[in-house]
Amino acid sequence: MFQKRCLSISIGVFVLFITYLHSSTLPKIYFLHDVYKEFYYIPIFFGALAFGLRGSLLIYLSVVVFELPFVIQGWTGAFASEVSRLLHLLFQGFFAIFAGYLVDRERKVREQTEKERHLAIIGQVATTIVHDLKNPIITILGFSNRIKDRKGDADEAIDMIMNSALIMQKIVQDALDFSKPLQLTLKQEDLREVIARACQFCAEKAKGGEVNLSVAVPPQPVYAEIDGVNMERALINLLSNAIEASIRGQNVRVGTVPGKDTLAITIVDQGPGMDRETIENMFTPYYTKKKEGTGLGMPIAKKVVEAHKGKIHVDSKLGVGTNVRIELPYKGSK
């Protein structure tokens, strides 16, 4: 709104400036007056770009009001000369209508395209969430019926129901977290503690898959201005992916590399690696090749890292593994 107001003032000042040039130039210097008349096309054009048809017509009418006295003042009665002047005003009007129409049409097409894109995204999100919720719902209904019919192990059924409910909770929470703006509470924290909490959270998953999870951090504190809670969640998402990509006996290594201006956190696994399509789309919301998962883990991690004014890089080779590197602003030890 402020920018449009400034542009309106600038256009108005430019029109007045052209009018001032008209009035300060001797009427006999015809060629200069002809040049000044051409200058009026500039504010009309910018008015169309900024405000569409309505704006271009309003500026054109202002131009006519300012230019008409010079037309009357220079009236000679010569038919060809006066027809030329009137045609010039008419051409300016045609230009204002045509330019404004084109801008309005372009805006409508762009708005319609944006609306269709937005609806397509909503449809994709809804389809993905429904698809991801379907399996846990089926599991909950199935084991609920077992309990109702008193078939099988009730404790096992309750465990499966609770596990499915937790999966559903994560799907919904991920969708909510990704859709809302990220609010960071930055403070000086020892990054080693954040990494330790993330690793502790993922330790049970690593143990269940018989994956070796190791941490290599400096013995001295590594202080950085971060939001520990959100950074921990980002690391959990990345660690979970690394553990899920690994098989029995493989290693997942987490480390830090303090530098002069940046601090790197690396997560390296020995999994199957990723193909080019997966690498190119891994940060696309809801893109996933896993049977279970929302496809929001990597986008959320990227969102958290970039909110810290950092960068995330992924290097992966088929049959070798994946190396994720997070680079955060760093000012050295506290």
Tell me whether residue 95 is in a domain.
yes
Tell me whether residue 267 is in a domain.
yes
Q: Which of 64, 84, 112 is the last residue of a domain?
A: 112
Which pLDDT score, from 0 to 100, does residue 258 have?
76
Check which CATH number belongs to the domain holding 290 and give it. Answer: 3.30.565.10
What pTM was computed for the model? 0.55
Tell me whether residue 176 is in a domain.
no
Q: Which of 86, 112, 138 is the last residue of a domain?
A: 112
Tell me whether residue 132 is in a domain.
no
What residues have CB less than 8 Å from 248, skipping those under 6 apart?
Answer: 209, 210, 211
Distance CA 241, CA 282 (A): 11
Which pLDDT score, from 0 to 100, does residue 334 have?
47
Tell me whether residue 134 is in a domain.
no
62 in Cβ contact with 80 (< 8 Å)? no
255 in Cβ contact with 217 (< 8 Å)? yes
Which pLDDT score, from 0 to 100, does residue 81 have?
61
Quick: pLDDT tens for 134-145.
Answer: 767 888 888 888
* Residues in the chain, pLDDT under 70: 1-2, 27-28, 30, 70-82, 121-125, 127-129, 131-132, 135, 177-179, 290-294, 331-334
The number of domains in the chain is 2
Structural domain including 215 reads 187-329
Which pLDDT score, from 0 to 100, does residue 60 have?
87
For 4, 7, 10, 50, 84, the CA distances from 1, given in Å and listed in that order, are 5, 10, 14, 11, 39
